[in-house]
A and B are shown apart, each in its own frame.
Chain A
Amino acid sequence: MHKNKLYTVLALAALVALALSACGSQPAAAPKELQVWIEWGDNPAQLQTLFDKYTAQSGVKVIVTAPVETDKFLPALTGSQPPDIIIRSGGDLVKSYAKEGLITELSGAIKDGGIDLNDFYSAPLQQCESNGKIWCLPWGTDIYALYWNKDLFQAAGLDPDTPPRTMEELAQFADKLTRLGADGKIEQIGFIPDQAWGHQELYAQMFGGFWYNKDGTQLTANSQPMLDALTWQQQFYSKYDYDNVTGFSTDFGNQYMSPDYPFYTGKLAMMVDGEWQTGPNFIAKFKPELNYGVAPFPPPSAHPERAHTAVVQGTVVIIPANASYPQESAKLLAWLESPAVVAEEMCVNANLPTSKKAAQDPCFTSNANFKVFVDLMADQNAKYMITSPISSEFNDAYSTVEQAILHTGADPKTQLDQLQNDYAQKLQDALK
């Protein structure tokens, strides 16, 4: 595809020039205030309080906007007045931002701010690297593990203190933990494979692969591990009529963070979810009476060596390419990434600290359930999220394919072949 590099109609050129001059004419003097956008902030007031401490220390006012919907970031990054720092809930789009020239390469900021990269756990940091450059820094991270309801295990005749040891056993347990009503409708379900975020990555890695190769340069959507993962997931739906399960689980997402979440009410016996559930803002707040356990997600029986595989994902900090005060943004970044701040913020929300020093804080080590996740992150089997410049489009397409397979019983092989066919070339084009 050859593209002519031609400038457009006179009027348009003038317009662009005007817009550029408008940007350029801004004084680089000290900022009145810095804007911080946080995608996944459940408690904006708490976040504002945290950043007020930076104000107290540096005299620069910081305004936090949280939560910010995903749609808002791209227009902001391409717009003329982006926020000074963006904290996104995942590194999935970092590569596409970098490719389009929307974000700042951070090596300068890291050096100037004295940020110690060795203090970061390696898995979360890796999602920020592209072609040897660093485009984001992790700020707290998430890992998913298996939660189970001990009372329901007991009622089903299972040992309440022994979670499934293999993925096959998990399916058997799920079967025992599913109850149908007199009308055949599901009243309680053992496991719903796609009920949580970040589940696809986990299952695929358990089966030994992913939808990209290691560095995200090849699409492997129809590879054997992907096929295995989706076939394994499909059984939880096919066993009890697809509509029955989807009807039962449609509303689960809407009840998250409420006492009516099905895992809390005993409608769901096992779930894959993140470390925050063990903290003060979830089970302890909404359903303190819940009798639950948490353990690493089990590997497939044929591959016990993959035990403790977990996919580390979660929050990353980026600086927009056209940030008004790049130096001030970098200073704020350095403060933000200091172990003390990381420890304080992650402790409040029970998220995993990305700093090794911060992880020593008793807040993270005293809670046995939380420690399951800290150990997973430090495990040699911990995997990072592999992303590509087409992540945004591909992830949407993948979730549609997954829905087709799980919710309507489409054939995994056909669907994945089609997906591979549709996007393999797009990835190559985007990487050029």
Chain B
Amino acid sequence: MQDWLGTKNVFKQKSPGVHWSRRTRQNFWLGMIFLLPWTIGFILFTFYPMAASFVYSFAEYHTRKPLVWVGLDNYVAMFTDKLFWISLENTLYMVAIGVPLTLLASFLCAVLLNLKVRGQSIYRVIYFLPSIVPTVASTLLWLWILNPQSGVMNTLLGYLGIPGPNWLGNPNWSKPSLILLGMWGMGSTIVIYLSGLQDVPTHLLEAAELDGASWLQRLRYITIPMVSPITLFNLITGMIWMFQYFAQAYVFRGTNDLGAPLDSTLFYSVYLYQAGFQYLKIGYASAMAWVLFLIILACTLLMLKVSERFTYYAG
């Protein structure tokens, strides 16, 4: 698992030097030709839009109006915009609670699926299947499951004598509802963990067992460190994904009700969409997008830095 991107030595390479051999030159042009589908796409769909939104972020603009420079106004406005902070807070809630919770749950599910039980492969399919249900379908399904009057969730809780909350209608429960929906579809993370668990050398576990280590101890001192690179990878991808959380929140509340109840599901991307497409503040939305990019960048680097101490790479 070491260096999972295979790019560790990028910066250690010698600089190419000015005088390329004929062979190198040939390879360079060959490489460029093979890369064309990426290069053109990068310029059209990444570089140009990045530059454009960077320009917009310092302006007031829409297509029916000439562009007006406003300097840093859009960025400054964020500081005093209450909704901006609410949306950031909601998103951080999902990142700080939703992502680790989902990871923990998928790890535990992977541990369960790794037990030698009869019908193991059927269980694996059952745990995995929800993750391929299309987002809109699964979101609508959970909207229906969590319906406080006719939904199945509160009926099941009722069997146990627990009065179910008004899931999506209650600002304290709306985000946990979305996390629950996310957990239902965490099958792919489970699969990644499962393959990680299968890579843990059996001889290590057996030796520990012989030494009298309990199941919990083996989990704590062998399995968890061995899968820590997977955990890091999933944490980072999960975080990046969660910062952009949109479709589920959009489908849950519908166009006219975005963010309800009480702005508790007004996530960063939802508010950004609202600013851009409902309030026609394209400059402000672009500024928000760039701030989001910086936040994601900072969090990723921070996580990589911190993880150096906690991640174990075999070999």
Contact = CB atoms under 8 A, between A and B. Distances in A.
Direct A/B contact, Cβ within 8 angstroms: yes
A6 B67 CA distance: 7
Contacts of A101: 64-65
Contact of B82 (A70, A74, A404, A422): A422
B60 A8 contact: no
Contacts of B62: 78, 100
B69 interface: yes
A78 B63 contact: yes
A400 B165 CA distance: 20
A250 B171 contact: no
A3 interface: yes
A111 B271 CA distance: 42
A243 B166 contact: yes
B227 interface: no
Contacts of B165: 243, 247
B55 A12 contact: yes
A154 to B, nearest CB: 26
Given A251-B149, A400-B259, A400-B262, A100 B280 contact: yes
Contacts of B279: 392-393
Interface residues of B, number: 40
B9 interface: no
A390 to B, nearest CB: 9
B52 interface: yes
B15 to A, nearest CB: 32
Contacts of B52: 12
B126 interface: no
Given A8-B55, A74-B278, A250-B168, A404 B262 contact: yes
Interface in A374-406: 392-393, 396-397, 399-400, 403-404
A6 B263 CA distance: 37
B150 interface: yes
B17 to A, nearest CB: 34
A408 B255 contact: no
Contacts of B256: 70
B149 A250 contact: yes
B68 interface: yes
Interface string A1-39: 101111111001000100100000000000000000000
A327 interface: no
Interface string A189-207: 0000000000000000000
Contacts of B67: 6-8, 12, 16
Contacts of A77: 64
Given A78-B63, A392-B279, A400-B259, A4 B68 contact: yes
Nearest to A75: B277
B273 to A, nearest CB: 9
Main secondary structure of the interface of A (DSSP, over half): helix
A102 interface: yes
Contact of B64 (A3, A12, A78): A78
A309 to B, nearest CB: 26
Nearest to B151: A251
B130 interface: no
A399 B280 CA distance: 20
Nearest to B280: A74
B255 A70 contact: yes
A147 to B, nearest CB: 21
A7 B63 CA distance: 14
A247 B168 CA distance: 10
Contacts of A78: 62-64, 280
19 contacts: A3-B60, A8-B67, A70-B278, A75-B277, A100-B64, A243-B165, A247-B148, A247-B149, A247-B170, A250-B148, A250-B149, A251-B150, A392-B279, A396-B258, A396-B259, A400-B262, A407-B169, A407-B261, A422-B82
Interface of B: 52, 55, 59-60, 62-70, 73, 82-83, 147-150, 163, 165-166, 168-171, 255-256, 258-263, 274, 277-280
